[in-house]
Amino acid sequence: MANLVIIGLGYVGLPLAVEAARAGHSVVGLDIDRNVVEGLNAGRTHVDDLADADIQAMREAGFRATTDESVIASADIVVICVPTPWSDDGGPDLGAVRSAAGAIARKLCQGTVVILESTTYPGTTDEVLRPALEDESGLIAGRDFHLAFSPERIDPGNPTYGMRNTPKVIGGYTEACAKAAAEFYGTFVESVVYTKGTREAETAKLLENTYRHINIALVNEMARFCHELDIDLWDVVRAASTKPFGFQAFYPGPGVGGHCIPIDPNYLSHNVRARLGYPFRFVELAQEINSTMPAYVAHRAQNLLNSVGVATKDAHILLLGVTYKPNIADQRESPATPLARHLHALGAKISYHDPYVPSWHLNGVQLARVDDLDAAVKDADLVILVQNHAEYDADQLAKRAQRFFDTRGVTTGEGSHRL
């Protein structure tokens, strides 16, 4: 069993820490956020899929969190799980990866296995991480230490596929590097999949996310013309998905959220444009279609009110579910935010209900949170189901509402308008 240091204790790093500790590794978590470190050391989780009990069990198995990078000096394995956001000037922001690399390089020892899990553009491990590690430490990758890329494939809230039963893709700088990383993951993941090198592993992750992004854009574009042609797209997808081969169902919605779908494909398209000078057209088109869905939903809401002679200005609109996925609290890039912004610009009075979101701000102003769901559904001029949390019985809510707009296609009865 290894001495493991995980850098970045968020949605990716923390579940990894839990699984590795369960497998018997000695785990230390390194994070720059003092609140995260203090919370974990007090046995509190800040990640949806983990309970306080998971953190406490991991603590009992020896886990501790720290902001002190000197822990890297005694690590056999260091896994980097820091954020890779999109910068304000429209490019990849590898600041956290570079900073983690600097911390590792200052403490790197012979024989350590360094693995990058953060989603990033092809070439990052070899062209950004490797020189940063080698230059400062004086050690050479593949000779003095091992270096690999292994993308995280976590799907928050997924009850079927977790870390253990989702195959782990591994790309090593050398074959020996890949084997060293696989030996570690093999202690708690059922199967590993090798790629030829680090670039293939980096690109595999981006292909997975781009595939979803593009297929969601396909049905989102279809949703618009199917509505005008009076075709029920949900019924179309249901019928098409009975084909036992060659088709995978994707569903339209009010827009895409989280990090993987709206942000990660940009890492690929930006890289293609920067290196080769031409666009990755599929990604750019999907981005355009998916990012205009909140405005389209606002437009449909306005038409719904208009059809019964109610002006959107001053209309009471209740948004149900404002997170980016059902049954979790994560609001990153949630399409509910641009949707609320569009409705606000039309003059609507917006309130929201979400069992996972105690307070929600738009342009720095706190939106009214509804506690009595039944009363609020009856009172609103229009209810929009933005995220279908398990707590919602959409058909029942639609029956009680004056007008109900279902952007998730889950209602079956009369009284509901589907996207």
Contact 378, 328 (CB under 8 A): no
Residue 249 CB, nearest approach to ligand NAD (Å): 21
Q: H or E segment at 285?
A: helix 281-291
Which of 4, 5, 12, 317: binder of ligand NAD (CB under 6 A)? Answer: 12
Angle of helix 264-276 relative to helix 198-228, nearest 10 degrees?
Answer: 110
Choose the stretch contacting ligand NAD; rule: CB under 6 A; options: 26-34, 56-64, 338-346, 366-374: 26-34
Q: Running DSSP on this structure, what letter comes out for residue 128? A: I
Cβ at position 6, least distance to ligand NAD in Å: 9
Q: What is the helix, strand, coil percentage profile of the chain, to 5?
A: 40, 15, 45
* Binding test (CB under 6 A) with ligand NAD, winner from 4, 5, 6, 7: 7
Q: What is the CA radius of gyration of the chain?
A: 23
Closest to ligand NAD by CB, 52 or 232: 52
- What's the start-to-end Cα distance of the chain, in Å? 52
Contacting range for ligand NAD; rule: CB under 6 A; set: 10-18, 165-173, 361-369, 392-400: 10-18
Q: Tokens 């019924």 correspond to what residue?
A: 235
The answer to whether 234 and 418 have CB atoms below 8 angstroms apart is yes
Site for ligand NAD contains 259 (CB under 6 A): yes
Crossing angle of helices 198-228 and 281-291, in 10° steps, is: 50
Q: Which of 39, 43, 83, 186 binds ligand NAD (CB under 6 A)?
A: 83
| Interface with ligand NAD in residues 239-258 (CB under 6 A) | none
Binding pattern for the stretch 260-289 against ligand NAD, x by CB under 6 A and - elsewhere: x-----------------------------
Nearer to ligand NAD, 6 or 317 (CB): 6
Q: Which stretch binds ligand NAD (CB under 6 A): 24-32, 278-286, 370-378, 386-394?
A: 24-32
8 lines the binding site for ligand NAD (CB under 6 A) = yes
| Maximum Cα interatomic distance, the chain, rounded to a whole number of Å | 74
- Decide: is 10 part of the binding site for ligand NAD (CB under 6 A): yes
Contact pattern for ligand NAD over residues 111 through 130, marking x by CB under 6 A: -------xx-----------
Among 4, 5, 6, 9, binds ligand NAD (CB under 6 A): 9
Q: Does 13 bind ligand NAD (CB under 6 A)?
A: yes
Least Å distance, CB 84 to ligand NAD, is: 4
- Count of residues that interact with ligand NAD, criterion CB under 6 A: 26
Dihedral Cα 282, 287, 293, 295, nearest 10 deg: -130
Residues taking part in catalysis: 260
Answer for which of 4, 5, 6, 11 binds ligand NAD (CB under 6 A) is 11
* Helix-helix angle 34-41:52-60, to 10 degrees: 70
What's the full length of the chain, in residues? 419
User: 286 with 214: CB under 8 angstroms?
Assistant: yes
Considering only the stretches 30-38, 131-139, 274-282, 348-356, report the one whose residues sit in contact with ligand NAD under the rule CB under 6 A. Answer: 30-38
Q: Which of residues 294-323 bind ligand NAD (CB under 6 A)?
A: none
CB 261 within 8 A of CB 371: no
**Least distance between ligand NAD and beta carbon 80 (Å):** 8
What per-residue string of b and e applies to 323-332 under the rule 16 or more CB within 10 Å gives b? bbbbbbbbbb
Ranked by CB distance to ligand NAD, the top (closest) residue is: 10
DSSP track, 234-276: HHHHHHHTTSSSS-------S---TTTTTTHHHHHHHHHHHHH
361-362 vs 365-366, strand pairing mode: antiparallel
Q: Residue 100 or residue 319: which is nearer to ligand NAD going by CB?
A: 100
Among 16, 21, 26, 31, which residue interacts with ligand NAD (rule: CB under 6 A)? 31
According to the binding rule CB under 6 A, does residue 335 interact with ligand NAD?
no
Residue numbers of the site for ligand NAD (CB under 6 A)? Answer: 7-13, 30-33, 36, 81-84, 96, 99-100, 118-119, 152, 154, 156, 259-260
